[in-house]
Amino acid sequence: MDVVLHVGIDDTDSLLGGCTTYVAAVLVEKLAKLNVEFQDYPALIRLNPNIPWKTRGNGAVALRVKTRVEHTDKIKCEVLRTVESLSQPGEDVDPAVVFLSGAIPNEVKRFSKMALYDFLNVDFALKTAGECGVEVFASKSLKGVVGALAAVGEELQDDYTYELLTYRTDNYRGMPRMVSAESVFLMDKVTSPTTFNNLDPETKRILITPRGPDPVLYGIRGEDPTVLLEAMKIVNIYEPIERWVIFRTNQGTDAHLKWMENPKDVKPYRAVAFKAVVCGKPHVIPGGHVIFKVAFKNEVFDCAAYEPTGGFRETVKKLIPGDVVEIYGGVRPLNGAMTINLEKIRVVSLAKEVKYFNPKCPKCNSTMKSMGHDKGFKCEKCGFKDSNMRKLEFETSRGIEPGLYIPPPRAQRHLTKPFSRYGLEKKNVECKFIDFWHVP
């Protein structure tokens, strides 16, 4: 009898190297030799980006294969051996693997949705796994169980994208990545907007190549796996590729942002969205970060646009008290208060900004001077007085319009939906599972 086996993996990497997607890529090759039937592309699931101890992308992976029941033990052994051999050494690495056979229980699906925006503890993960028949293999603090279980539960039935990841050979890791910048510009020109976030328009920085010591050479994100294959043909490189794999992922979907109606739900480390009114004029603090206050019903929160967000800060600086906005970002506890680290902002409506000027003298055209509150004005040059005169009121141009504002790609989270994806979201769109999606 056949069975579908779901495999979740997380926390095999550290800030010093390694990559959980690389572990998945190696497993794709090994499991293919065991004659399993892949049910989907490997899933790269980005989880809540605000978790304090995460590595940069906070990603976990899931593999889904159909096999004979009697072959599942062999597959599990292969997975565990591979994870153990490829996990980075170090105190901050807590590799975890989970296995689930058959249909995914609703409790696991709910757990996965919560892990996108909330702070979940290990006890909750273990309790959910135990109640749903999920096998757990982990060590140390067991933190990796949260991500591994969440990856299994996320079937990407809502919006999703793809990423083609290429990996370096051992002898090139740690060296500068040898990817032709000119070819990346050409690839972006030919394939955009079906691919996205290849470049940063403000700085012209190449974004498909990571900067760390991990084994990824480059990754191209897009809407369609066939377009990713065409994009890969355009990119010129000057070092060998060990392997490449196409992942299906929640990157670029805003899946982590949870709309809040109650300010009490804006809790530390959550990814939130809510409607509020600006109640404090933006100001710049040391480091170039822009801070302003908003009122969400009966609660006041600080919002921060940090220096790396570039021109996005100039938009934020133009806000004034009374503007109605939608806030999107991560909640960071700071000095006993909570600050929203902005990922994007939508200006719903703008308050009027009015400037007041003293009137001109009707006799000599000199600027008049106030005689006191509600007492009118006097011309000091010719002596003319008028107790009924008031300041002149002029509405000024704000230099900002209602609409959505997003930081440049270089400052975006993996999960942040870029401008180019608006209108391209997949709703009830069946996944295109092509034959040529990995080598080897």
- Condensed to tens digits (0 to 9), the pLDDT of residues 298-327 reads 899 999 999 999 999 999 999 999 999 999
On whether residue 92 sits in a domain, the answer given is yes
pLDDT band at 14 (very low <50, low <70, confident <90, very high): confident
- Nearest Cα neighbor of 57 from 237, 228, 200, 256 is 256
Domain count, the chain: 4
Among 59-68, 218-227, 371-380, the least confident range: 371-380
What is the percentage of the chain residues whose pLDDT exceeds 90? 80
Based on the fold, state whether residues 103 and 240 are members of the same structural domain.
no
Among 155, 190, 222, the domain boundary falls at 155
pLDDT band at 13 (very low <50, low <70, confident <90, very high): confident
d(CA 291, CA 279): 12
pLDDT band at 373 (very low <50, low <70, confident <90, very high): confident
On whether residue 83 sits in a domain, the answer given is yes
Among 197, 218, 249, the domain boundary falls at 249
Q: What pLDDT score does 180 carry?
A: 98
pLDDT band at 354 (very low <50, low <70, confident <90, very high): confident
Q: Is residue 77 pLDDT above 90, yes or no?
A: yes
As a whole number of Å, the end-to-end CA separation of the chain is 28
Mean pLDDT computed over every residue of the chain: 94
Based on the fold, state whether residues 48 and 128 are members of the same structural domain.
yes
Among 155, 176, 204, the domain boundary falls at 155
d(CA 173, CA 123): 37
Based on the fold, state whether residues 168 and 243 are members of the same structural domain.
yes
Q: What pLDDT score does 271 carry?
A: 98
CATH code where residue 185 lies: 3.90.600.20
Q: In one letter, which amino acid is 298?
A: N
Q: What pLDDT score does 140 carry?
A: 77
Based on the fold, state whether residues 32 and 91 are members of the same structural domain.
yes
On whether residue 9 sits in a domain, the answer given is yes
Based on the fold, state whether residues 169 and 310 are members of the same structural domain.
no
Q: What pLDDT score does 209 carry?
A: 97
Based on the fold, state whether residues 36 and 49 are members of the same structural domain.
yes
Q: What pLDDT score does 55 carry?
A: 67
Q: Is residue 337 pLDDT above 90, yes or no?
A: no
Among 34-38, 261-265, 403-407, the least confident range: 34-38
CB atoms within 10 A of CB 325: 23
262, 329, 330, 337, 423 from 269: Cα distances, Å: 16, 10, 6, 12, 29
- Condensed to tens digits (0 to 9), the pLDDT of residues 109-156 reads 999 999 999 999 999 999 999 999 999 999 878 999 999 999 999 999
Q: Is residue 35 pLDDT above 90, yes or no?
A: no
On whether residue 198 sits in a domain, the answer given is yes
On whether residue 73 sits in a domain, the answer given is yes
On whether residue 425 sits in a domain, the answer given is no
Q: What pLDDT score does 237 carry?
A: 97
d(CA 30, CA 243): 13
Q: What pLDDT score does 397 carry?
A: 87
Q: Is residue 98 pLDDT above 80, yes or no?
A: yes
Based on the fold, state whether residues 142 and 171 are members of the same structural domain.
no
Based on the fold, state whether residues 25 and 135 are members of the same structural domain.
yes
Q: Is residue 74 pLDDT above 70, yes or no?
A: yes
Based on the fold, state whether residues 147 and 11 are members of the same structural domain.
yes
Q: Is residue 89 pLDDT above 80, yes or no?
A: no
Beta bridge mates, 165: 219, 245
Q: Is residue 91 pLDDT above 70, yes or no?
A: no
Based on the fold, state whether residues 335 and 370 are members of the same structural domain.
no
Q: Is residue 334 pLDDT above 90, yes or no?
A: no
On whether residue 335 sits in a domain, the answer given is yes
On whether residue 265 sits in a domain, the answer given is no
Q: What pLDDT score does 30 carry?
A: 97
Based on the fold, state whether residues 323 and 217 are members of the same structural domain.
no
pLDDT (mean) for 211-224: 94
Q: Which residues constitute the domain of residue 39?
A: 2-155
Based on the fold, state whether residues 102 and 129 are members of the same structural domain.
yes
CATH code where residue 308 lies: 2.40.50.1010
